[in-house]
Amino acid sequence: MNKEFDIIENYFSFSKATREVPITVGDDCAIFTPPFRHTHIATSADLLIEGQHFFSDVNPKNLGHKALAVNLSDLAAMGAEPIGCLLSLALPSIDHSWIARFTEGFRNLSEKYMCPLIGGDLSKSKMGIIINVTVFGGLNVNFRRSATSAFMTRAGARAGDDIWVSGNLGKAHLAYTTKRDNPNDLAKYAMIFEALELPEPRIDLGKSLIRRATSCIDISDGLVQDLGHIMKSSKKTAEIHLEKIPYDKNLEKQFSKEQIREAILSGGDCYELCFTAPPENRAIIERLSDSLQLKLTIIGEVSWDFNIDRERRERIKRRQELRNKFEKNNYYVDNTPFTPIPHVQSKPRPPVEVYENGELIEVPNGGFQHF
């Protein structure tokens, strides 16, 4: 049973045809009809490479879960409801036990979020395991507002908005650094590995934030880096407060203050949602937190345009040129020539500023990098 089609038939044909997906795994193409309640399709793809995005000795069942979870997290960030997914695998060899366990993890999450596997590919790899997943989701959007503002994207944050995060941050990064730097410390890794290997996509939260949040992103590369993407797209600046960022206080028993700070600010592989919302929606979001039984925390606020200093420098430059022109042509006022104004160098604000007890601090590590 080493032929491609036999393996597909035995391990990857678990999603049955439905009215919405009449043609699924086993044909040249899958065919699906978006449910009537959806007006738009959202899609996303992620590539996971052995040694780059996951450790070689990872539990295959957990890897199957994560391969789908990181893609579902992208749908969550857009407020989309899962419709189906594609899975492509490149394997160095055929290990039926590995494939069976990988498929189990993938299938369990697929069924939990009603995201059937509808197609994909299987091939041989000469450079380790390579996994590619593509997901499709549905959105129901009306256009009483403009087309761009009708969707929950990275570009909608407004000055004065609250900045929220879901869950606790930092644990996945600490699991990753523990595994990387102390691979024999199995006891410490066992306490926190689930955050790294079994992330939970916030699908229900994402769907509930439609028309309540102004922007949203999933935290895959670190809080500061990913929130920075929102601020750059929205042309705003974020001010966040370190002491407000939620994390599991039990981590303090195993890790230093500096390690935790780096993890919650710059640590990736988190897959919680970071979103912005107007202050008048606080009560709604707090009730949403209760109904989903999911911690939602305000960690800061959105400030003015992060390019304002750059614009100020341009205005000063234009004034300088005008005054130099007057001086060159011997224009005088009250018999006194204009004095050239030196060019003012003003450092622009970064997209995200982090404060600790009111004091601006530097962000450690400068952002998450995969293995």
Q: Which residues contact 313 (CB under 8 A, 6 or more apart)?
A: 343, 344, 345, 346
Spatial contact of 124 and 90, defined as CB atoms under 8 Å apart? yes
Give the residue numbers of the binding site for substrate.
53, 269, 368
Q: What is the C-alpha to C-alpha distance for residues 329 and 338, in angstroms, rounded to an integer?
A: 11
Question: Taking all residues of the chain, what is their mean pLDDT, rounded to a whole number?
Answer: 87
Q: What is the C-alpha to C-alpha distance for residues 17 and 80, in angstroms, rounded to an integer?
A: 22
Do 147-307+351-361 and 4-139 have the same topology in CATH? no
Mean pLDDT of 140-145: 65
Percentage of the chain surpassing pLDDT 70?
79
| pLDDT of the residue at 141 | 75
DSSP state of 212: T
Q: What is the C-alpha to C-alpha distance for residues 280 and 268, in angstroms, rounded to an integer?
A: 30
Q: What burial letters (b/e) apply to 343-361, b meaning 16+ CB within 10 Å?
A: eeeeeebebbbbeeeeeee
Q: What is the C-alpha to C-alpha distance for residues 156 and 234, in angstroms, rounded to an integer?
A: 6
Q: Would you call 193 helix, strand, or coil by DSSP?
A: helix
Q: Which residues contact 10 (CB under 8 A, 6 or more apart)?
A: 1
Give the residue numbers of the binding site.
28, 44, 46, 53, 74, 120-121, 154, 218, 220-221, 269, 368
CATH superfamily of 4-139: PurM-like, N-terminal domain (3.30.1330.10)
Spatial contact of 183 and 176, defined as CB atoms under 8 Å apart? no
147-307+351-361: CATH, from 3.30.565.10, 3.90.650.10, 3.30.460.20, 3.40.50.2020: 3.90.650.10
Q: What is the C-alpha to C-alpha distance for residues 177 and 267, in angstroms, rounded to an integer?
A: 10
Say yes or no to pLDDT of 284 above 70.
yes
Q: Would you call 197 helix, strand, or coil by DSSP?
A: helix
Instruction: Report domain extents, the chain.
Output: 4-139, 147-307+351-361, 308-337
Mean pLDDT of 298-313: 73
Closest CA to 72 of 28, 20, 117: 117
The string of DSSP letters for 56-67 reads TT--HHHHHHHH
Say yes or no to pLDDT of 156 above 70.
yes
Q: Residues 24-52: pLDDT tens digits?
A: 666 778 787 777 677 889 999 999 999 99
Q: Residues 201-218: pLDDT tens digits?
A: 999 999 999 999 999 999
Say yes or no to pLDDT of 236 above 70.
yes
Give the residue numbers of the binding site for ATP.
120-121, 154, 220
Q: Hey, which residues does 265 pair with through a beta bridge?
A: none
Mean pLDDT of 310-325: 65
Closest CA to 305 of 360, 232, 358: 232
Give the residue numbers of the binding site for Mg(2+).
28, 44, 46, 74, 121, 218, 221
| pLDDT of the residue at 80 | 95
| pLDDT of the residue at 30 | 75
